[in-house]
């Protein structure tokens, strides 16, 4: 394989074909780091509006370090994988305290931050500072598997090969180009080999899907949830999930049946110590995916059995509710009930 020629071909293609993304307009390590944290397990199309809102509210690491956790979670609400937001804020505090407000320039120092693993450390330092650090995500691994017609190799072997291919003068741009190729051309199914800029170098192009066959996906767990909409004087009743539960720390409508909670499926039963479902049929039904859970939530109009809500449940106006870190499921439920963001 002519590696120098392969590098030139891929970098020329990337220069003209890369998708416009707000974090590609800067070499600021903070902005790149935020984008990389958001992009974990999340599509570019989903991330862009969240990224733009987040950067407007927290334009630099100092602002994020001073932020209240609920303010960070509120802007993250609906993006999922909320530990990323908590780690981002915790790492921002360490960057201010130990690194003078500058994201670390070495991979080892970056990896010492909460939530920053090998991929994120390599990605941010290479793109922001030009550090010679190769990234290996799912897209890059697939490209490498097909280029070299290899299957089942270890993480160590994939990382070594990625490092060997790394363009010496533009490591960050090379990393972006490899990921872009995997995301837009060398896709998991039905890759666009005729328009691949490095097809002539690819040893696995005759049957690309064979070389990149991944592990079987974890089987989805179907979950049925009962949610209660309690309204009083223009306010809605919310509860906050305990830490350690699915969607822990987020505000939701009172509910039962959520994983790690005692399920109560009968509509006549109490929910969370004093919320009673009023009618036999659900007023609205919404569906939501969280990790490998596929949730179907039936939202019922409900009432309280007492004047004051039980401990842990609080009333909020609709604007107040939308300023809180709501779970994606409750956001969908409120919209279905005609109580969307004002």
User: Which secondary structure element, helix H or strand E, spans residue 251, and what is its range?
Assistant: strand 251-252
Pick the closest to residue 26 from 149, 129, 164, 114 (CA basis). Answer: 129
Structure tokens at 92: 């921002």
CB neighbour class for 136 (10 Å; exposed up to 12, middle 13-18, buried from 19): buried
CA distance 1 to 243: 52
270 part of the active site? no
Phi and psi (nearest 5°) for 281?
A: -110, 150
CB neighbour class for 308 (10 Å; exposed up to 12, middle 13-18, buried from 19): exposed
Pick the closest to residue 179 from 109, 218, 127, 214 (CA basis). Answer: 127
User: Which secondary structure element, helix H or strand E, spans residue 13, and what is its range?
Assistant: helix 3-17
CB neighbour class for 226 (10 Å; exposed up to 12, middle 13-18, buried from 19): buried
CA distance 319 to 244: 27
CA distance 167 to 122: 14
Phi and psi (nearest 5°) for 80?
A: 80, 175
Token pair 């972006």 is found at 176
The active-site residue out of 36, 176, 180, 252 is 36
- Residues annotated as catalytic are 36
């Amino acid at each position: 394989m002519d590696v120098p020629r392969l590098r030139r071909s891929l970098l020329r293609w990337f220069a003209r074909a890369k998708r416009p993304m707000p974090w590609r307009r800067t070499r600021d390590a903070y902005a790149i780091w935020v984008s990389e944290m958001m992009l974990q397990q999340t599509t570019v199309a989903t991330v862009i509006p969240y990224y733009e809102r987040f950067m407007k509210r927290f334009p630099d690491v100092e602002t994020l370090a001073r932020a209240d956790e609920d303010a960070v979670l509120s802007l993250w609400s609906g993006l999922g994988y909320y530990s990323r937001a908590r780690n981002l804020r915790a790492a921002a505090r360490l960057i201010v305290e130990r690194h003078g407000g500058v994201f670390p320039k070495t991979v080892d120092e970056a990896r010492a931050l909460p939530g920053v693993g090998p991929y994120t450390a390599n990605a941010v330092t290479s793109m922001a500072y030009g550090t010679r650090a190769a990234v290996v995500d799912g897209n890059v691994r697939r490209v490498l598997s097909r280029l070299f017609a290899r299957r089942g190799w270890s993480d160590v072997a994939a990382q070594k090969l990625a490092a060997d291919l790394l363009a010496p003068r533009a490591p960050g741009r090379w990393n972006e180009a490899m990921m872009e190729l995997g995301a837009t051309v060398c896709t998991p199914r039905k890759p666009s080999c005729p328009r691949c800029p490095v097809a002539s170098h690819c040893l696995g192009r005759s049957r690309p899907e064979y070389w990149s066959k991944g592990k079987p996906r974890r089987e989805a767990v179907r979950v049925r949830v009962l949610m209660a909409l309690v309204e009083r004087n223009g306010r809605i009743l919310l509860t906050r999930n305990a830490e350690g539960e699915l969607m822990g720390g987020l505000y939701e409508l009172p509910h039962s049946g959520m994983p790690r909670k005692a399920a109560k499926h009968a509509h006549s039963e109490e929910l969370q110590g004093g919320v009673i479902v009023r009618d036999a049929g659900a007023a609205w039904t919404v569906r939501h995916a969280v990790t490998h859970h596929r949730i179907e939530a039936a939202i019922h109009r409900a009432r309280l059995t007492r004047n004051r809500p039980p401990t842990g449940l609080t009333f909020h106006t609709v604007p107040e509710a939308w300023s809180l870190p709501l779970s994606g499921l409750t956001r969908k439920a409120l919209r279905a009930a005609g109580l969307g963001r004002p």
